[in-house]
Amino acid sequence: MTLARKYKLIVADDHKMFLDGLLSIIANESDFEIVMTANSGQNVIKYLDNCEGKDVDLVVTDINMPDVTGIELNKHIKAKFPNIRTLIVSMRHDSKTIHRLTEDQVDGYVPKNAEKGELILAIETILKGEKYFSESIKKAYMDSMFNKEKDVITSLTKREKEVLKLIAEEHTTQEIADKFFLSKHTIEGYRKNLISKLEVRNLAGLTKYAIQLGLLD
């Protein structure tokens, strides 16, 4: 696939063999020009800061590096140079890492064992302004989120579910307290605990969980 112009890339990985492999794959593509290679995130930051991010379209980076990690590098790039796109190439598939990177607006994520064709597809997709996440990355994230949600739900007590149901039905704190012969202070404590346990911000988040649990059926 021919892109609109020649795009300039930085590639960073502290494993020379893998870095050389990436370079050989990318070098065969006429649409890409590698303007810098690095074995640390700190070197990439210095380069970008010195050139003010000009003439760089995409940074391809590993996560595990000796000084500045790929996670920190991505965050720095998105904060200072939002027009530069980022692609993570890593063997790390844990949901915490994936979640943090997506929160920091990473543009793509593929495993190191991806086929050559998928790596090129990821780069091309990102350079066209779209996101690209390998199926294995998406599956690892969704499986982990499902298991986490299931664990949270099973941790709720019967009374917490009852309070959650009434909150979602828009009962006031006083009405819920009267129903259970408890104080408003105790019900307020339940509400705060539910917000903390379910990792939501407000009553709308609690209502969403109540619907997912089937409490409003």
Q: In the chain, how many domains are there?
A: 2
Instruction: Based on the fold, state whether residues 64 and 166 are members of the same structural domain.
Output: no
**The predicted structure's pLDDT at residue 150:** 66
Q: Are residues 109 and 51 in the same domain?
A: yes
- Is residue 96 over pLDDT 90? no
Whether residue 124 sits in one domain with residue 72:
yes
CATH, residue 138: 3.40.50.2300
Examine the domain organization and report whether 109 and 189 are in the same domain: no
Confidence of residue 196 (pLDDT cuts 50, 70, 90): confident
What are the backbone angles phi and psi of residue 35, rounded to the nearest 5°?
Answer: -95, -15
Question: What does the pLDDT read at residue 154?
Answer: 76
Confidence band for 80, pLDDT divided at 50, 70 and 90: very high
CA–CA distance, 165 with 35 (Å, rounded to integer): 57
Q: What is the mean pLDDT of the chain?
A: 88
Average pLDDT on 65-76 reads 93
- 2 is a domain residue: no
Q: Could you tell me if 114 and 190 lie in one domain?
A: no
Of 142, 162, 193, the residue that ends a domain is 142
50 and 101 share one domain: yes
Measured distance CA(7)–CA(127) in Å, rounded: 8
Are 10 and 36 within 8 A, CB to CB?
yes
Q: What is the pLDDT of residue 44?
A: 96
Give the domain-ending residue among 107, 142, 177.
142
Residues 107 and 29 in one domain: yes
Instruction: Tell me, yes or no, whether 176 and 125 share the same domain.
Output: no
Residues 55 and 109 in one domain: yes
Hunting for tokens 């000009």 — which residue is that? 54
Cα gap 70→165, rounded to integer Å: 42
Domain contains 193: yes
Residues 170 and 73 in one domain: no
Same domain, 105 and 47: yes
Say what the pTM is: 0.68
Judged against a pLDDT cut of 90, whether residue 131 lies above it is answered with: yes
Dist CA 101 CA 70 (whole Å) = 9
- DSSP symbol at 10: E
Query: Is 1 inside any structural domain?
Result: no
pLDDT at 214 (0 to 100): 75
- Supply the pLDDT for residue 1: 55
Print the domain residue range for 178. 154-212
The continuous run of DSSP H or E covering 132 comes out as strand 132-133
167, part of any domain: yes
Can you list the pairs that 196-205 forms with residues at least 24 positions away whose Cβ atoms lie under 8 Å? 197/152, 197/155, 197/156, 197/160, 198/152, 199/152, 203/167
Which of 80, 62, 75 lies closest to 16, judged by CA?
Answer: 62
Position 216 scores a pLDDT of 76
pLDDT band at 107, cuts 50/70/90?
Answer: very high
What pLDDT does 210 receive? 82
- Residue 32 CB coordination number (10 Å): 23
Domain end, chosen from 142, 162, 197, is at 142
Q: What percent of the chain has pLDDT over 90?
A: 57
Per residue in 142-159, pLDDT tens? 776 666 666 677 788 889
The answer on pLDDT for 133 being more than 90 is yes
pLDDT tens-digit readout, 17-63: 999 999 889 888 888 999 999 999 999 999 999 998 888 999 999 99
pLDDT of residue 68 exceeding 90, the answer is yes
Is the domain of 47 the same as that of 138? yes
